[in-house]
Copies of this chain bind each other. A is one copy, B any other.
Amino acid sequence: MAEHDQNKESLQESLQQVIHLLSKPQLEETLVHQPDLSSQGLIASLVQEQNLHELRTKLDELHPADVAYILEALPIEHRLVVWELVKAERDGEILLEVSDAVRQTLIADMDSDELLAAAEQLDTDEIADLAPDLPRDVFQELLETLDSQNRERLQSAMSYPDDTVGALMDFDFVTIREDISLEVALRYLRRLGKLPDHSDKLFVVDRHDQLLGVLPLKRLVVNDPELTVAAVMADDPVIFHPEEDASDAAQAFGRYDLVTAPVVDTENKLMGRITVDAVMDFLRDESESEVLSLAGLREEEDIFSSVWKSMQNRWTWLAINLITAFIASRVIGLFEGSIEKIVALAALMPIVAGIGGNSGNQTTTMIVRGLALGQISTHNMKTLFMKEIGVSLLNGLVWGGVLGVAAWMLYHNLALGLVMTGAMTLNLLLAAVMGVGIPLAMTKLGRDPAVGSSVMITAVTDSGGFFIFLGLATLFLI
């Protein structure tokens, strides 16, 4: 048995082989220049031919997803060499697998004919995924090559926003009628000769394409062939509508352990289906962009992006932080007189601000997660507020107490220690209130609380922490 044991190690091996073949002398040049014809040059170019040939063979053996992985792991110049070597008829599949940033670098390297040829090998829903990255004229030409049903499907698939069921939908499904026997259904399938990827069920429709139920292949194979489809099918399948939220659909897939599910319009007419692999891709993208957005990164940066592209990706966040830091700095500026008198304040104030930020981020993370899972609504908001205030009060007294004692010891000033404890407690309370309030307010305003809550919390606890600590110090110590 030829084992296809493709775990990470063997993928890493493939990558190492590719890198090895690429780094043999002057491989790149043969692609760009004519081999020179002196005898020495001839030998060198034969060696290079040999490498290229090996590399091409290696690439042909690999699954499109693995080629995509290798393309992503290579710096741009090597990436384009490999891309040239990939068989043209695999271009389309591979373009679908690579990340957005890498796809742009590959498409930029292809001319219109190559792009058109690549896109023509794809299904309508796959073209819809690729379309936003295609040059306008290529896309127009592509539209003309499609028949009217596929053109309509493409346009409808592209009309749904990225985060809806409609954008995840594909059109690869097999439908049958409910009044035939399983025996007839099996004969029909044998005539078809092939089922689309992930087909775990057939969709049962009437002559107007109204969905009546689904017939899982599992039921088809274990039931008496004399029975009718109607008797064996599931008549209450989980269904989706194209305008539904993709993340709700993804949760339903996890909750009900689905592999495929039908998508119907408001009149219950079958439009398409969702498969678990589309859902997994969606979930992966979601969780990736959540982690990235916590650090203020958009997803379009690949690790080999140019310095210039990387700066563009990062500057918004840095600029926002610069502004909030500047505001905090001006808050400190208000109290320069106090700091001049008690310079210890300057050393202690970042602690108050920093711990407030950390505590606020913990609260916000809990709330954002509860909101995403739909566990937070009006009925339990009060409970939540009370709990977070309790936690921060306790934390404030404990950690504020520890720091108060430390400040007292260090500066031999009991009053300074007390101000420290008081300021910590108040800033943690502020962090708790804002930590719950900011994500809730953002949700009320229809915005995604996962994006930006953390910056806002930090801004409030920084400026607030400096203000509270320096304000208390000015009141009680000066």
Give the interface of A toward B (CB within 8 A). Answer: 1-8, 11-12, 15, 19, 63, 65-66, 69, 72-73, 75, 186, 189-190, 192-195, 197-200, 211-213, 217-218, 220-224, 235-241, 244-245, 248-249, 251-257, 259, 268, 276-277, 279-281, 283-284, 287-288, 290-292, 294-297, 301, 303-307, 310-311, 314-315, 317-319, 321-322, 325-326, 328-330, 332-333, 336, 339-340, 343-351, 353-355, 358-359, 361-362, 364-367, 369-370, 373-377, 379-380, 383-384, 387, 390-391, 394-395, 398-399, 402-403, 406, 410, 462, 466
Given the complex, which residues of B lie within 8 Å of A220, measured CB to CB? 221
Closest chain-B Cβ to A413's Cβ sits at a distance in Å of: 14
Q: Do A383 and B284 touch (CB < 8 A)? A: no
Other A-B contacts than A65-B256, A290-B291, A332-B346, 13 sampled, CB-CB below 8 A, are A1-B213, A5-B241, A6-B238, A75-B380, A287-B290, A291-B365, A303-B380, A314-B395, A318-B358, A318-B399, A322-B355, A328-B354, A329-B348
One complex includes copies of this chain to the number of 2
Complex CA distance for A48 and B361, rounded to whole angstroms: 42
Complex CA distance for A344 and B321, rounded to whole angstroms: 20
Q: Do A373 and B72 touch (CB < 8 A)? A: yes
Closest chain-B Cβ to A452's Cβ sits at a distance in Å of: 14
Complex CA distance for A200 and B201, rounded to whole angstroms: 10
Complex CA distance for A186 and B355, rounded to whole angstroms: 65
Nearest-CB residue, chain B, relative to A402: B322
Closest chain-B Cβ to A32's Cβ sits at a distance in Å of: 21
Q: Do A325 and B354 touch (CB < 8 A)? A: yes
Closest chain-B Cβ to A123's Cβ sits at a distance in Å of: 14
Q: Do A361 and B295 touch (CB < 8 A)? A: yes
Complex CA distance for A244 and B333, rounded to whole angstroms: 57
Q: Do A329 and B351 touch (CB < 8 A)? A: yes
Q: Do A239 and B387 touch (CB < 8 A)? A: no
Q: Do A252 and B7 touch (CB < 8 A)? A: yes
Closest chain-B Cβ to A411's Cβ sits at a distance in Å of: 9
A-B contact list, 21 entries, CB within 8 Å: A1-B212, A5-B238, A7-B249, A66-B255, A73-B374, A254-B284, A291-B294, A295-B362, A297-B366, A310-B387, A311-B394, A314-B362, A314-B391, A321-B354, A321-B358, A325-B354, A329-B351, A333-B344, A333-B347, A336-B343, A340-B340
